[in-house]
Structure 1
Amino acid sequence: MNEESKVTAENEEIKDENTEEMNETVNEEASEDVQVEDNNDIAKKISELEAKAEEAENRYLRLYADFENYKRRVQLDKEASQKYRAQGLISNLLPAIDNFERAMQIEPNNEQTKALLEGVQMVYRAIIDALKQEGAEQIEAVGKEFDPHLHQAVMQANDSEYESNIVVEEFQKGYILKDRVIRPSMVKVNQ
């Protein structure tokens, strides 16, 4: 081989080495770019998944809180319905009790009427005792200060014997069941 062919062969060899090195460098850089792109995609997906997980956890916590509130409301409703179970019956009995009270106001003029009145009073007391056993009581009105939650003023009086805003007369008895007013007392109030 002559000198020129040797140099050409060496040049070719150097070219091939340089080309190989350049290809390796380009491949490495391309690989790094792909890895960087892959890392960016992975990071983006991770952040999306974290956001979705956080949203799902928040939704779960809201649903859990709603369910706990629902259970508490149901329990309170159950307790209230148990506590006031007799309210409907008592409300239906009040007109009959009013009639008993009116019947007891008559003046007996003979023995038969007295006996009948005593029977009516016994039945009336039995009904009132049954109401008390269920937690219902009559609202005290006469001589008490007017309370709009317990009394319904239907008339006003100007009586010097009573102070202002005091109940002077009761026209219809009011009833309260535990802490709930079933029917307010109808009263006359002093100015």
Structure 2
Amino acid sequence: MADEKNNTQNGAEASAEGNATVTPIKSDLEQAQEETAKWKNEYLYLRAEFDNYKKHAIKERSDLLKFGIERIGRDILEVMDNFERALQTKVSAETVQTFKSGVEMTAKELKETLNKHGISEVPSENQPFNPQFHEAISAEPTTQVPEGHITKVFKKPYKLHDKVIRMGQVVVATAPKA
């Protein structure tokens, strides 16, 4: 019986040793394959995230182009309401001065609204002609302003911040012929 006990113990030891040798050590190939699978999953995840980001950025840009004018639109609609109220007014000899001052106030309000949103008039009358802001539609001989300066403005030039958004149409002074 003692021998059986020893055999059993020896067998247990042998099987414990056998288990240690039976546990496979991962080969370099298997480790590389696992690491490759891990990196591939991370790449696919990042690619999906980037695709979602691109779609979101495109939608955001589209919405900005579509609805970017909303703030200035709301402000201009307030001015439009004042013009419509003025047009509903019955103008008579007694109310013409009040009507005129109301329209002038509304025009001033419109200019302030445009300035608030970065749209400003480029001063032109009696200023030197500047082809960056002005389009000369005519020339006029005069001594009232120096040659090359603007005598009349048909359309005022406007800029949005630093960019010209509308060229002015002007008449430029020339030296009178003797």
Q: TM-score range by the shorter chain?
A: 0.3 to 0.5
| Higher helix proportion | 1
Larger gyration radius, structure 1 or structure 2:
1
TM-score (norm 2): 0.46
